[in-house]
Amino acid sequence: MPILVTAFGPFDGREENASALALRELKRTFPGIRTRILPVDSVIAPMRLKRALRILRPSALIMLGEGAGIRQIQLETTAWNELDFRIPDLAGRQPTGRLIVSGAPAQRRATLPMRRLLNRLTANGHEAILSHQPGRYLCNQVFYTALHFLADSAIHCPAGFIHLPLASDYPVDRSVAALNQVLAGVQASACS
Ligand code: PCA
């Protein structure tokens, strides 16, 4: 079964999203992965992601997004059941103080081994950290949605989220090199 890697399209006035740029390159090295570029739209993105999980039934899910202002690759450990958008999504929606799924846990933990992936990255000279705060925007929303959906489904698919710095702050090929390591690590753990 394939590994599914998702990224986001552009938003916030930028022409490109570092995660989509990196994913395009990653696919060259790992042609076997399946990919989806999600729009920064709080209705369409979670819907497309859930549909891809149902259709592909991947062996692992790695979600990517860009984080303005970050200077290192952030391996996100925790998704929060909260929508608190600091800017509107592409359709103009700006929920604040709302739950993603009512009656569901306040947080869900990544099911990929993020600490082990961090160790692999730092051992290979990459600037990366664990983060417990993925924001309260689209990245957190799709991260929480995926973990919630998978927790309730028969699909066995560990999942995690990675924030990349903006392309203007950090060379995309460095992000791609780090993601190569992540994918190799996930492939190894999916097969063991
Ligand atoms: N970053 C935003 C959403 C899309 C993206 O790439 C976020 O951090 O929520």
Condensed to tens digits (0 to 9), the pLDDT of residues 49-102 reads 999 999 999 999 999 999 999 999 999 999 999 999 999 999 999 999 999 999
Is the CB of residue 17 below 6 angstroms from any atom belonging to ligand 1?
yes
Residue of 66, 75, 172, 175 with the most ligand 1 atoms within 8 Å of its CB, for mutation:
66
Do the beta carbons of residue 130 and residue 160 sit within 8 Å?
Answer: no
C-alpha 58/C-alpha 24 separation (Å) is 19
Active site residue 191: no
d(CA 112, CA 81): 19
Which DSSP helix (H) or strand (E) runs through 150?
helix 138-151
Q: Of ligand 1's atoms, which has the minimum distance to the CA of residue 40?
A: 4
Residue 89 alpha carbon to ligand 1 centre in Å: 10
| pTM for the predicted model, two decimal places | 0.97
145 to 70, 86, 91, 126: CA distances (angstroms): 23, 19, 19, 29
